[in-house]
Amino acid sequence: MKKLTNEIKCTFLSKSENEALARSIISGFLLPLDPDVEELADIRCAVSEAVTNCIVHAYRDKIGTITLIARCYEDKTLRIIVADKGCGIEDVAKARAPLFTTCPDEDRCGMGFSIMESFSDRLSVYSKPRKGTR
Helix (H) or strand (E) holding 89: none
Catalytic residue among 18, 108, 117, 134: 108
Which of 53, 90, 96, 106 is flagged as catalytic? 53
53 classed as catalytic: yes
CB 63 within 8 A of CB 14: yes
CA proximity to 133, closest of 80, 79, 92: 92
Of 49, 74, 122, 134, the active-site residue reads 49
Q: Is the separation of the CB atoms in 133 and 86 below 8 Å?
A: yes
Known catalytic residue at 108: yes
Give the active site residues. 49, 53, 108
